[in-house]
Amino acid sequence: METKNHDSADVQAVDESAYAQVRAMISSGELAAGSWLRETTLAERVGVSRTPIREALNRLAAEGLVDISKNKGAQVVSFSPEDIAGLYDVRAGFEPHAVLLAVPRLSDEDVDQLASLAARMEAIVESGDLDKLSALNNAFHSMFMDRCGNRHFAIALQTVMRPAVVAHTFRKYSPEALHRSMLHHAELVAAAAAGDGEWAESVMRSHILAARNAAGANPSPR
């Protein structure tokens, strides 16, 4: 019985690792929008069998990052500029409110973690190796959602944000846009350290709208 439990845990760990690695490839832009996702090729790259890859693709499809067709296979979703602008508009409407709720709830350890993430992202930008930037950026933003104190709001916001990782790739950013993004992160840390939710809310809205511009999305018509 204990052996079966261990086997089940091992399978779950492999499935989770495959999912995380494929999602990271999409988030970083290594697997760009519109890319075809062949199970055999991905299995070789990740170092697993095709079964965990198939499970990962089904999970990513449920999250809106992958389209699966019975005849053609799996493909990273593609968005029009209008689609991308719409995603950022939704984020700009809701994510700043999550920050407003989260800041008063942040512990000293949370603020230290935000500062550490911001510093690591800045170091990556200075090095020019952007492959790891998206994962750190996601962790930074997730901290605010996880601490907003409203589980249902956090889940809904995560659902909205997941497809945006396809459109939000730092490879599209100019050096000026990257620098601006890092300054926003530093100011968010400062606002969090000061316990000023309204300041952080304002910075987050500017941060998201600047990201929309850096992603090449046109503002939605008013």
Say which CATH class 2-76 falls into. mainly alpha
| Residue range 160-164: mean pLDDT, rounded | 71
Q: Where does the chain hold its CATH 1.20.120.530 domain(s)?
A: 81-214
Query: Do residues 46 and 173 lie in contact, with contact meaning Cβ atoms separated by under 8 Å?
Result: no
Question: Which CATH number is 81-214's, of 1.10.260.40, 3.40.50.1360, 2.60.120.620, 1.20.120.530?
Answer: 1.20.120.530
**pLDDT band of 154, cuts 50, 70, 90:** confident
- C-alpha distances in angstroms, 206 versus 78, 118, 121, 124, 209? 25, 17, 19, 22, 5
Give tens-digit pLDDT for 54-91: 999 999 998 888 999 888 899 998 877 788 888 888 88
Handedness of CA 152, 157, 158, 159 (dihedral sign): positive
Give tens-digit pLDDT for 141-152: 999 999 999 988
pLDDT at 25: 85
For residues 122, 124, 130, 134, the Cα torsion angle rounded to the nearest 10 degrees is -60
Q: Looking at the DSSP assignment, which residues form a beta bridge with residue 67? A: 75
pLDDT at 219: 60
pLDDT at 84: 80
Q: Where does the chain hold its CATH 1.10.10.10 domain(s)?
A: 2-76
Q: What is the CA radius of gyration of the chain?
A: 18
